[in-house]
Copies of this chain bind each other. A is one copy, B any other.
Amino acid sequence: MKKIAESTVRRLSLYLRYLEEFEKLGHDTISSGQLATSGGTTSAQVRKDLSFFGSFGKRGMGYSTRELTSRIRGILGLERTWRLVIVGAGKIGSALAGHRGFRDRGFEVVGIFDADPHRVGHTLLGVTIADVKSLERDVKRLRPDMAVLAVPPEAAPDVAARLATVGVKAILDFSTAPLHLPADVTVRRMNLALELEILSYALTNR
């Protein structure tokens, strides 16, 4: 399959949420117009997005919610469980660890790390906070697929590099620090300032 643009992946993720709600309400089909609303886009864009997966859905009949849900879950790789570790058990890290939706959506927190001796040994939702000094050894044992980085920006590059060394290929980073990582490691940024600057760009160039 050809590579899908990030903006399309984001919309698929939004469609999926709406589809799941729709299925719960007992609706068997959904129109491209309804999906467009959920993704903040147009019917034409929805049809284009879904055409990546080959032709399905009947003209004028809408899409089968069940079939479409399963196809999108397949594309996004959500038909399995992903193991993840959280590095940094401060405000953000703790809030994340307590996030309701994690396990429901197939993301299992298998380890939490921190550098602060006052935090190490405490438990967050059943996971004992480990010392970040033992990161490499523990990651080898825990075999996480992903890591969430919620450490101070100055610590982010070092922690990210160490995670990459022991085989972590996907990192969600809350800082905007430059990370020096092998090309096969995917990094996502979740950062307030970044998002506000994208809005600033949109308002300036409308």
Contacts and interface: CB of A to CB of B under 8 A. Distances in A.
A203 B169 contact: yes
A189 interface: yes
A117 interface: no
Given A105-B193, A105-B196, A172-B196, A9 B188 contact: no
A78 B146 contact: no
A9 B179 CA distance: 18
A37 interface: yes
Contacts of A16: 197
A91 B190 CA distance: 17
A37 B10 CA distance: 25
A4 B205 CA distance: 9
A142 interface: no
Contacts of A202: 170, 186
Contact of A179 (B40, B169, B181, B186): B40
A76 B194 CA distance: 11
A203 B189 CA distance: 16
Given A146-B196, A170-B199, A184-B206, 19 more contacts: A4-B205, A14-B176, A14-B178, A40-B179, A76-B201, A76-B204, A77-B204, A77-B205, A78-B200, A82-B200, A84-B196, A105-B193, A105-B196, A105-B197, A107-B196, A145-B203, A172-B199, A186-B203, A190-B195
3 interchain residue pairs of minimum CB distance = A77-B204, A38-B178, A186-B202
